[in-house]
Structure 1
Amino acid sequence: MPIGASFDDFLQEEGIKEEVELKAMKEVLSWKMQQAMKEQNLSKSDVAKTMQTSRSVVERVLDPENLSISLKTAVKAANACGLHLHLQVSAS
């Protein structure tokens, strides 16, 4: 890789750009939700009740390693913590 090439180019060449981006987004979602839950004194059970789902679903959302949650679940979980999930799409 030439000097001055971007980190994105490196990730693309290694074939891991999408995975790295997904993991970073999931880690941010998990961290933000945990912070909001702490600030509002919300338990996982409280969030699950607001989402009308099980506590295990909330645990999957909060697990930064679990990348398989749906967009719908992510939005519902963020909303249950008083957060707004904003998705931005732009040209690469």
Structure 2
Amino acid sequence: MNKHIGSDFDDFLSEQGLAEEVSAAALKRVIAWQIAETMKAQSVTKKALAERMHTSRTAIDRALDQDDAGMTLATLASAARALGQRVEVRLVPDREEIRA
């Protein structure tokens, strides 16, 4: 019998010791996507964003690469600021604590 039947994906990730890593990667992907969408909405090119951030277009390419696990939240926050936005990260109660 499969012990994961009836459990949810979060439980599986926790059991495998991957929950924090997956959560951080997902957060970075969402922020990178939001930056790209804001750039489209504001008609800001990668070159223009690089100039606003005083960096290279290559750095912008890396910031917008949703698969670049090495991209820091600080860099994404800097890109957001250059677009008149801010990144907000907050703590929320763990689902396990809510159940108790």
Q: Which is higher, the Rg of structure 1 or of structure 2? A: 2
- SS of the aligned residue for 2:87 comes to coil
Paired residues, number: 92
Matched, 1:8 2:10: yes
Matched, 1:73 2:75: yes
Q: Equivalents in 2 of 1:14, 1:80: separation in Å? A: 38
What is the match of residue 27 of structure 1? 29
Gaps of 5+ in 2: 95-100
Over the residues paired in the alignment, what is the CA RMSD in angstroms?
Answer: 1.7
8 A Cα contact 2:63 2:76, kept in partner: yes
TM-score (norm 2): 0.78
- Once the two structures are TM-superposed, the CA of residue 6 in structure 1 deviates from its matched residue by 4.1
- Once the two structures are TM-superposed, the CA of residue 43 in structure 1 deviates from its matched residue by 0.4
Structure 1 segments (4+ residues) deviating >6 Å: none
Q: Give the percent of matched residue pairs that are identical in Structure 1 and Structure 2.
A: 37
TM-score (norm 1): 0.84
